[in-house]
Amino acid sequence: MAKVPNPWESNDNNPWKDNEKPKNDKPKIVNFSKNEKFDGGDFGFKWQWGALALLVVWLASGLYQVQPNEEGVVLRFGAYHATTDAGLHYHLPYPIEEVRKVSMTQERSINLGVTEKFGGKNAFTESHMLTGDENIVDINLTIVWRIENARDYLFSLQNPDQTVRVAAQSVLREIVGQSKMMPIISGDRGKVEDDTKEELQKLLDEFHSGIRIVRVKLQKADPPKQVVDAFNEVQRAKADMERFKNEAEAYRNEILPKAKGEAAQRLQNAEAYRQAVINKAQGEANRFTSVYNAYVNGKDITAKRLYLETMENVLANSNKVILDPSAKGSNVVPYLPLDALKTTKGE
């Protein structure tokens, strides 16, 4: 039978050397203040440094950079706190505060004029709009916008893109409904674009959307596809009518001035002839009157003057030679033109 060792015997397993009995029955207490080693000491030291490093990283996560074309909106517990401009900034780390960066110069666009489908069937075509003269026009409109106020943009609208689309659709339908079809299709698109931009901006300002409409472009304005052939035929007929009208107008502009010129010339010639006849008649009448008055005042002298004037007119074209037989020394030899007589007989 094995011998049971006596713990009070002197051996290497006896904690009380020299076979001495313990003076105190209390267990030994380890003093940590004297850097006595114990199991798990290194782990506690590392845990403290790890927690400190995590704290530093958490605090450093509040640093953020805002670009020149951006604005930073700081949220504290989900509510608006402040707006920051470009540069390096700091906010309390998440989840206390967070930052949403918004681009203020980026232009966004939406396009009106697509067909929405439900269940594989065309339930609604947003491009078809009713005009003021009860016609249907197929419109494609592009709206370009950007953010003007970051706070209003983030907190006033739940879905900004959809809000702009619905508002633009409503405004455009109202403007088209107040206009006639032909001005929209034939070229008066600038008025539709300007009116849409102005009214849409007013509506978005009422919503405090923080959105600025940059431009509105009417890409297409045509009749519906179902009647486009008939419409084009009508347009060709109207174009032919305008062409014929212009040709007639050009012919009229060419003929009328010429006819008016000829009429004016004939009127001037007639007026000149009339005035010449009147002046001649008046001159002859005045001459006759003056002769008559002279005759009344001196009948003999007037009669002799009339006789002389008449004889002057008669003898002016005559080959007569008049001799005064009473004149002295008038020895005139008669000349007989024989050559002339011969020529006359030869003929």
**CB contact at 8 A, 218 and 193:** yes
Query: Looking at the domain assignment, is residue 127 inside a domain?
Result: yes
Q: What is the pLDDT of residue 245?
A: 92
**3-class DSSP state of 101:** strand
Query: Looking at the domain assignment, is residue 185 inside a domain?
Result: yes
Instruction: Decide if pLDDT at 346 tops 90.
Output: no
Q: Which of 272, 287, 302 is the last residue of a domain?
A: 287
Query: Looking at the domain assignment, is residue 197 inside a domain?
Result: yes
Q: What is the pLDDT of residue 57?
A: 81
The DSSP line for 115-182 is EEEETTEEEEETTEEE-TTS-EEEEEEEEEEEES-HHHHHHT-SSHHHHHHHHHHHHHHHHHHTS-HH
Amino acid, single-letter form, for residue 14: N
DSSP at 28? P
Bigger pLDDT: 120 vs 220: 220
Both 127 and 212 in a single domain?
Answer: yes
Q: What are phi and psi of 176, to 5 degrees?
A: -65, -35
Which residue segment(s) compose the domain that 67 sits in? Answer: 60-103
Both 138 and 64 in a single domain?
Answer: no
Q: Which of 239, 137, 140, 219 is nearest to 182 (CA)?
A: 137
Task: Read off the pTM.
Answer: 0.50
Query: Looking at the domain assignment, is residue 22 inside a domain?
Result: no
Query: Looking at the domain assignment, is residue 228 inside a domain?
Result: no
Q: What is the pLDDT of residue 33?
A: 45
Domain count, the chain: 3
Q: What is the pLDDT of residue 34?
A: 44
**Of 29-43, 199-213, 263-277, the least confident:** 29-43
Pairing of strands 97-103, 121-125: unpaired
**Torsion angle, alpha carbons of 208, 209, 212, 213, to 10:** -110
Average pLDDT along the chain: 76
Q: What is the pLDDT of residue 272?
A: 92
**CB under 8 Å to 173, separation ≥6 — which residues?**
129, 130
Both 114 and 95 in a single domain?
Answer: no
Distance (Å, whole) CA 127 – CA 142: 12
**3-class DSSP state of 76:** strand
Give the DSSP H/E element, type plus range, for residue 71: strand 70-76
Q: What is the CATH number for 202?
A: 3.30.479.30
Distance (Å, whole) CA 155 – CA 150: 9
Both 114 and 181 in a single domain?
Answer: yes
**CB under 8 Å to 203, separation ≥6 — which residues?**
167, 170, 171
**CB contact at 8 A, 125 and 88:** no
Q: What is the pLDDT of residue 126?
A: 65
Q: What is the pLDDT of residue 41?
A: 54
| Residue entry with tokens 């008055």 | 293
Q: Which of 44, 70, 103 is the last residue of a domain?
A: 103
Both 113 and 136 in a single domain?
Answer: yes
Instruction: Decide if pLDDT at 10 tops 70.
Output: no
